[in-house]
Amino acid sequence: MSLDAVSVGIMWDRLVAISDEIVTTLVRTSFSTIVSESYDLTVALLDADGQLMAQGTYSVPVFMGTAPATLQHMLARYPAESLRPGDVIITNDPWLGTGHMFDINVMRPVFHDGRIVAYVISITHLPDIGGLGFGAAAREIYHEGLRLPVCKLFEAGVQNDFIIELMRTNVRAPDQVIGDLMANVTATKVGEAMLTGFLVEYGLADFASLSQEIRGRSETATRARISAMPDGSYHNEIQIEGVDGALTLACHIDVAGDAMTVDFAGTDGCVRQGINVPFCYTRAMVLYSMKCLTVPELPNNGGSVVPIPVTAPAGCLLDAQPPSPTGARHMIGHFVSPLVFGALAEAVPEQIQADCGMMDLMTFQGRHRDGHDVSTIYFASGGFGALAGLDGAETTPGPSNMAVVPIEVWETLTSTTVERKYLLPDTGGAGASRGGLGQEVVIRNDSGHVMTVFCMANRTDFPPLGLMGGGNGKPREHRINDVTVDPKGHYELEPGDRITMIEAGPAMAIPPCGPAKPSSWIWRKVSSHPKAPRGIMASTANKYSQD
């Protein structure tokens, strides 16, 4: 059927609203603060052909690139014609999902008039999946926990009790883990009801025509923005913290007409520590970065990724192969955005962001003073990188967007104490536009038990880089009882011990040719967005890449 532009716009907004309602269900039914407070989640709606139609506004940006590929892996195991109403498919395989085993991917096919018309995918980071725990300490994938192949958690509405028992037996904090798993299942059920209701309300048999219109318009808009970039070949190479020394990430981008290719030849090989990045995550980070530079104002869907093929040499750090450990793949994967931005700085200098202080994740495992198990994540952040004519925000993450758990909630759930948390002056570098400030956070173990922490910090040897002559930011540091420790290590905190997170400030951007052009960047609109959920401070880039 043919749809006019007004109808497409109304129904497109409605699909985004449905996605957001599913996110709300997921947040309100989850058991862990990782989902309910930090929003480490994604909800995606895909049509019967597996094409991404819409994504929840507040979702992890990188999962917009992994969810469609995950669905294809699921359908390869369980073809569409074999699925039945009430089926729910899951996996946490790093190479089929989001790049590490700590994210559970939950898919439900949506039936209408006896046939599949869509798929709902819900993804959350679990509190635990067994093994060593969430960190960078593993030497191979088998150390990192329970790896679930594509399997049916529900078949025709009947739960597979063995999978539930298997997970309970292998994880810490099983009530939280299974509670979050079932929150994903519930969210997909809500999505199913809302999508079938949508079809009835608008008198549609399926989503095929609407999905095609949404994706076609997005592809056209993306190609137009790429066409505005100067044709050419652009290269960038950066040094980052490794295991036994610095590692090199390299990127080559060819812009030709209304398309571009991105390749990571020249990147160093994998290492025997859990910081390697499967290609699914690398590709998704590229697509997110390009979304920021092309059509950040459009809601996410599969159309905007069509003109941007991505490649990487098999076995390199950004295309890790089994059994490479990948638990802390974000420590390397988050550098894909500044790597890509740096390559295109010559082509579109006024649209490039200076380096961010990035996000810092630290896993806490142990026992609460009341006796129950603790396995959760503390999220902290450096400052947001500056743009031409626009200062960066303080302690705002980029390129991902998880939120910090409120101190009162954190202390109650972990029986640790946040002794202090304050902004660090002069950590944003110097330039015409100032980067956001970093921070210092001190957490004391008041549980009465030994508590294990897994550090996953980058930006420790190489600070955020300035742009167009701007100054560099400050590096990140972890300390235990005032002694600097390995930012990729794991440690035992005795009762009363303190761990300090000194967060990197981002670098500065200096306008290359006069004031910034607001029409070329939509980023400055975000901080007061009316849909902002409690406890989240989304970066402008992330908000518009997801919206």
At 387 the pLDDT is 85
Please indicate whether residue 267 or residue 3 has the higher confidence score (pLDDT): 267
**pLDDT digits 0-9 by tens, 272-300:** 999 999 999 999 999 999 999 999 999 99
Is the pLDDT confidence value at 527 over 50? no
| Residue 92 near residue 125 (C-beta atoms within 8 A) | no
Confidence class for position 178, pLDDT limits 50, 70, 90? very high
Is the pLDDT confidence value at 15 over 90? yes
At a CB cut-off of 8 Å and minimum separation 6, what does 483 contact?
none
**Is the full-model pTM beyond 0.75?**
yes
- Cα 471 to chain centroid distance, Å, stands at 28
Between 208-227 and 5-29, two packed helices, what is the crossing angle to 10 degrees?
100
Q: What angle do CA 40, 44, 49 make, to 5 degrees?
A: 150
At 255 the pLDDT is 98
**pLDDT digits 0-9 by tens, 310-342:** 999 999 999 999 999 999 999 999 999 999 999
Q: What angle do CA 108, 113, 116 make, to 5 degrees?
A: 35
Is the pLDDT confidence value at 486 over 50? yes
Is the pLDDT confidence value at 362 over 60? yes
Please indicate whether residue 517 or residue 380 has the higher confidence score (pLDDT): 380
Is the pLDDT confidence value at 224 over 60? yes
**pLDDT digits 0-9 by tens, 53-67:** 999 998 888 887 899
**pLDDT digits 0-9 by tens, 400-452:** 888 889 999 999 999 999 999 999 988 887 788 888 999 999 999 999 999 99
At 507 the pLDDT is 67
Mean pLDDT of 206-225: 96
At 516 the pLDDT is 34
Is the pLDDT confidence value at 307 over 80? yes
Q: What percent of the chain has pLDDT over 70?
A: 92
- Determine phi and psi for 197, rounding to 5 degrees: -65, -40
Q: Where are the alpha helices (DSSP H) in 207-260?
A: 208-227
